[in-house]
């Protein structure tokens, strides 16, 4: 099989690594890829959101399918454009990706299909927002409607905080068009977990669970980030809860999308809060998570290429997905200053010696090469270090010993990933 993977972060590194291990893979191309991926796959410098460029590359390499990693090309309709050329893609269509691309669509959709979620109010002006914020005594969550690279959500305790967040989005253009409309949500409490299902539009099966750590600093302090580390399986979930989440959230979503004419094919990522009234949807994403993929895929005991082929041929009902019994953890090393301002192009220490260690993977999240060929940082999140172990504590010890040995002075990491 000739395969093109779209994207160039830690998620795509983990995806490409899994695909490269399949006996079904003959040619593996990643665009834009990164220096970590380059060691085992061909990379082309085409941006993930360059829809015509990605289509042309897929045609040139005669791709049997394209695995679309990030949300932006999905929301822009890369799958639809590939299908017009007769090229298969793994990931939802533009209309189906609205489950992530528009928080308002997603909330209204859940309401139409009785999928449990927090109360919410759609606002396009500050007067409406203020009324709702005061009604909730400021204990609420302010969300930009559109895509804001994981930063468009502000969890608030007070009226003032919520008013500031709303004003920045609605009137100060903080997230551009993505914040021209916002949601003020009821703030719900409980334990969070991420559930990943793969669907062919009819059948949905579990492909993994994870717990992400979204805040920048230890003990869940500091601003929200794209994710500073993750563990799999999610400690908060047991078989009963997973079944409940499938019955009340995943299956009604797949069925509802079909009913509304947007067959959902690809990965459905449900971020859920386990409340005392049962699991509720915090958000849907239309793709694998980053860094969750770096712990989900190393636990897969079923060929990823086979799962994708069965998704594309709409025969997932014949598939069983198996997992290894061990746990996985990933620790993100980020640039100092992330998620606010940070430098790029900062030299990284050599970590080649860890590449050959079993049960350790160093995924490149945001790296590139400078003119002299040195490995440098190229993003907020720079590396994610994954380890496999018989329990979370063993995973923590292995992964953190590598993180400490890398010892990158211009970066930081959370020390409490996987700690209970």
The one segment of 59-67, 186-194, 355-363, 398-406 that binds ligand AMP by CB under 6 A? 186-194
**Residue 340 or 356 having the CB closest to ligand GLY:** 340
In whole angstroms, how close is the CB of 211 to ligand GLY at the nearest point?
A: 10
Close Cβ partners of 335 (under 8 Å, ≥ 6 residues apart): 342, 343, 344, 346, 366, 377, 379, 380, 381, 382, 410, 411
**Angle (CA) 336 291 303, round 5°:** 150
Ranked by CB distance to ligand AMP, the top (closest) residue is 283
| Residue 282 interacts with which of ligand AMP, ligand GLY, none, CB < 5 to 8 Å by class | ligand AMP
* Residue 244: both structure tokens together: 């409940």
CB of 410: closest distance to ligand AMP in angstroms?
Answer: 27
Which residue ranges make up the site for ligand GLY (CB under 6 A)?
150, 212, 226-227, 285, 289-290, 292
Least separation in angstroms between CB 150 and ligand GLY: 6
Q: Is 155 in the site for ligand AMP (CB under 6 A)?
A: yes
User: If contact means CB under 5 to 8 A according to the sort of partner, which of ligand GLY, ligand AMP, none does residue 304 touch?
Assistant: none
Return the bridge partners of 271, or none.
194, 283
DSSP classification of residue 226: S
Of 30 and 295, nearer to ligand GLY (C-beta) is: 295
Residue 395 interface partner, choices ligand AMP, ligand GLY, none, CB cut-off 5-8 Å depending on type: none
Question: What value does the CA radius of gyration of the chain take, rounded to a whole number of Å?
Answer: 21
What is the nearest approach in angstroms of ligand AMP to the Cβ of residue 169?
14
The structure tokens listed for 307 are 């799962």
Q: Residue 119's binding partner, choosing from ligand AMP, ligand GLY, none, with beta-carbon cut-off 5 to 8 A by kind?
A: none
Q: Is 271 in the site for ligand AMP (CB under 6 A)?
A: yes
Partner interacting with residue 417 (select from ligand GLY, ligand AMP, none; CB below 5-8 Å by kind): none
Q: Measured from the CB of residue 404, what is the shortest distance to ligand AMP in angstroms? A: 27
Task: Report, in Å, the least distance between residue 282 CB and ligand GLY.
Answer: 11
303 binds ligand AMP per the rule CB under 6 A: no
Report CA-CA distances (Å) from 271 to 91, 129, 212.
18, 24, 10
Do 384 and 331 contact (CB within 8 A), yes or no? yes
Q: What span, in angstroms and rounded, lies between the C-alpha atoms of 40 and 58?
A: 19
Q: Give the position of tokens 């270090």.
A: 385
184 sits near ligand AMP (criterion: CB under 6 A): no
Peptide bond into 32 cis (omega under 30): yes
State whether the Cα torsion 275-279-281-284 is positive or negative.
positive
Phi, psi (deg, nearest 5) at residue 184: -105, 115
Q: Which residue has the tokens 């791709």?
A: 63
Q: Which does 285 bind (CB under 5 to 8 A by kind): ligand GLY, ligand AMP, none?
A: ligand GLY
In terms of Cβ atoms closer than 10 Å to its own Cβ (0-12, 13-18, 19+), residue 218 is middle
Does position 291 interact with ligand AMP (CB under 6 A)? The reply is no
* Rounded Cα gap, residues 120 and 183, in angstroms: 6
User: Binding to ligand AMP (CB under 6 A): which residues in 10-29?
Assistant: none
- State which residue, 121 or 364, has the beta carbon closest to ligand AMP: 121
Among 214, 287, 396, 398, binds ligand AMP (CB under 6 A): 214
- Share of the chain residues as helix, strand and coil, in percent rounded to the nearest 5: 35, 30, 40
Task: List the one residue from 27, 187, 258, 314 that touches ligand AMP (CB under 6 A).
Answer: 187
Which of 2, 20, 128, 224 is in the footprint of ligand AMP by CB under 6 A? 224
């Amino acid at each position: 099989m000739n395969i093109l993977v779209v994207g160039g972060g830690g998620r795509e590194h983990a995806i490409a690594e899994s695909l490269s291990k399949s006996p079904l893979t003959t040619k593996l191309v990643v665009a834009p890829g990164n220096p970590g991926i380059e060691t085992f796959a061909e990379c082309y410098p085409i941006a993930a959101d360059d829809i015509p460029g990605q289509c042309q590359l897929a045609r040139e390499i005669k791709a049997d399918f394209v695995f679309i990693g990030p949300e932006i090309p999905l929301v822009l309709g890369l799958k639809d454009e590939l299908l017009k050329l007769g090229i298969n893609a793994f990931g939802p269509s533009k209309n189906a990706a609205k489950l992530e691309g528009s928080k308002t669509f997603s909330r209204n959709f859940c309401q139409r299909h009785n999928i449990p979620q927090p109360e919410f109010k759609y606002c396009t002006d500050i007067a409406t927002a203020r009324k709702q914020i005061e009604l909730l005594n400021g204990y609420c969550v302010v969300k930009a409607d559109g895509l804001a690279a994981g930063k468009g959500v502000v969890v608030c305790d007070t009226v003032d905080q919520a008013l500031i967040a709303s004003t920045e989005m609605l009137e100060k253009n903080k997230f551009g068009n993505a914040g021209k409309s916002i949601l003020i949500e009821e703030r719900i409490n409980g334990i969070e977990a991420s559930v990943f299902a793969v669907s062919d539009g009819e059948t949905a099966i579990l492909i993994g669970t994870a717990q992400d750590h979204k805040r920048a600093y230890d003990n869940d302090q500091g601003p929200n980030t794209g994710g500073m580390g993750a563990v799999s399986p999610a400690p908060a979930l047991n078989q009963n809860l997973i079944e409940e989440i499938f019955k009340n959230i995943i299956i009604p979503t797949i069925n509802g999308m079909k009913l509304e004419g947007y067959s959902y094919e690809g990965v459905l990522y449900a971020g859920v809060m386990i409340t005392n009234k049962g699991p509720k949807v915090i958000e849907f994403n239309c793709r694998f998570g980053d860094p969750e993929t770096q712990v989900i895929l190393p636990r897969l005991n079923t060929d990823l290429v086979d799962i994708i082929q069965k998704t594309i041929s709409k025969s997932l009902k014949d598939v069983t997905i198996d997992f290894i019994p061990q746990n996985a953890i990933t620790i993100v090393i980020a640039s100092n200053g992330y998620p606010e301002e940070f430098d790029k192009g900062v030299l990284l220490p050599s970590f080649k010696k860890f590449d050959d260690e079993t049960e350790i993977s160093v995924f490149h999240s945001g790296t590139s090469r400078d003119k002299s060929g040195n490995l440098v940082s190229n993003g907020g999140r720079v590396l994610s270090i994954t380890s496999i172990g018989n329990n979370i504590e063993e995973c923590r010890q292995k992964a953190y010993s590598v993180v400490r040995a890398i010892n990158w002075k211009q970066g930081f990491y959370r020390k409490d990933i996987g700690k209970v």
